Amino acid sequence: MMHYSNWLIGVKNRASLRNACKTPPNTDWNNRGNVVDMKNNNPQPNEKTSELTVTTHLWKKGYKVIKKIGEGTFSEVVKTQSLKDGKFYACKTMKQTINSLEQANNLREVQAMKRLSPHANIIQLHELIFDKETGTVSLICELMEMNIYEFIQGRQTPLPDHTVKHYMYQLCKSLEHMHSCGIFHRDVKPENILIKQNVLKLGDFGSCRSVYSKPPHTEYISTRWYRAPECLLTDGYYSSKMDIWSAGCVFFEIMSLNPLFPGTNELDQVAKIHDVLGSPDQSLLQKFKQSRAMNFNFPLKKGTGISRLIPNCPAPALSLLYQMLAYDSDERITAETALRHTYFREIRMAEKKADTLHRVSGPMDAVGSSGTHGSLEHMWRPTRFGKQLRGRHTRQTPLMSHNMKHVAEPLIRRNVPHYPTELPKLNMVIPGPQISFPVSTMPTFTVTHRGTLPAITSKKCQSQLAKPRDESHRAAFKTYYMPPLDRKHGGY
């Protein structure tokens, strides 16, 4: 009954907040399901930071408060503008008083944001502000446009499949990065997932925990609607897999625009899960009972299935959704494996193609930026660029872009008698006119070309180079018979 009362209070507070501020609820103050219960962190009434205190506190540090975005149990969020550069930020001010700057830096949320940064899908911490007089701590973070809950609220038509896929891929990337860094979020929900210009970022790390910490953990930590079965049926024996369950619930909510398991209390939450997924077998229930002080039993029930709730869901998306919402956490997919799922194949291929083009075009951009095209040295390396041009469409290689056509042109043209005037002088050699007489009767000699190119040794002559032509050398020719030769182009 107490949980139901908390739920009604949360609904009333949310309605009054919307009417007062005329803005949709934002991160960590929209208590859908129930208020997050964090042991030993409940703020006392005298710890609540007034709006005037926050405004004065931020003004001293060079930030102007624009408007209040929302308020939660442990913090309030305002939109601020820096007086230095004029940029806008989101400021999260803690209601809990802090004794020192060292204690502020040791806050779990601050430590997590520093460890996870920088990442494209994690909210960036810009600055930490500590007011020694009042003990107030504020986190200046990047400002996003809205959260996922605000994005889907009031929509009548479902989102395009590519939009859902794009957001879920970024959410899985943020979770994979978190878990690989040894942190799990514990409160993944639409209100804590922020978006801006199709970029998704995970925020609000006040409930995060180390993956290496031993259970039992805090029992009632995540918002009830997104709470995994192991959080509901055990005394705090859960792991990072709970984030995957929450992400699966968010996945369904983005596609259907409705929550998947909107339970009114813990017992109703379990019943909602069983209505869709069915009740677990006895072996799994026995594993839950070993870490639960209170005994429980559920009647055998076959769920309706997720596909009936979203009949137009693509098969790959439905497959990933079932793997993320596996009742047994040991069988639940990981964030790293989810990124390799068939559902994200198109995004992975696009990323791979873009990465390949970036690596290929990188050296070419560096050559073009020098102003002299790298002395055109790259034009005479067919072993490097010939493989890139061979069998590849023109639009698929940066060598054939509009500003680099002259780079690939000498590689394509073959047997062209005239070269561009800007080409460098080459140390080339050409054979002289062939003479029809036995090689064995002809001594080694060199014929000097009097044109613009240096002389080379004829391929039919011996490899030993002859000395420069002088009078003694000319005398050696008198002992042999040579047919008369006509002068052509100043040579023999």
Catalytic residues: 187
Residue 186, phi-psi category: left (phi > 0), alpha (psi -120 to 50), beta (remainder): left
Coil, strand or helix at 106: coil
Gap between the terminal Cα atoms of the chain = 112
Report residue 113 as tokens. 């944001």
Task: Estimate to the nearest angstrom the gap between the alpha carbon of 350 and the chain centroid.
Answer: 13
Other CB atoms within 10 Å distance of the CB of residue 54? 21
Q: Do the strands 136-142 and 125-131 form a parallel or antiparallel pair, or are they unpaired?
A: antiparallel
Q: Are 84 and 62 in contact (CB under 8 A)?
A: yes
Query: What's the burial of 332, exposed, middle or buried (CB within 10 Å: 0-12/13-18/19+)?
Result: buried
CA-angle at 279, arms to 277 and 283, nearest 5°: 125
Report residue 180 as tokens. 């690989």
Coil, strand or helix at 427: coil
Q: Is there a binding annotation on residue 92?
A: yes
- List C-alpha distances in Å: 350 to 345, 356, 443: 9, 10, 66
Nearest Cα residue to 57 out of 94, 28, 87, 89: 94
The dihedral built from the CA positions of residue 483, 484, 487 and 491, taken in this order, carries a sign that is positive
For 225, phi and psi rounded to 5 degrees?
Answer: -65, -20
Feature table: binding site for ATP: 92
List the binding residues. 92
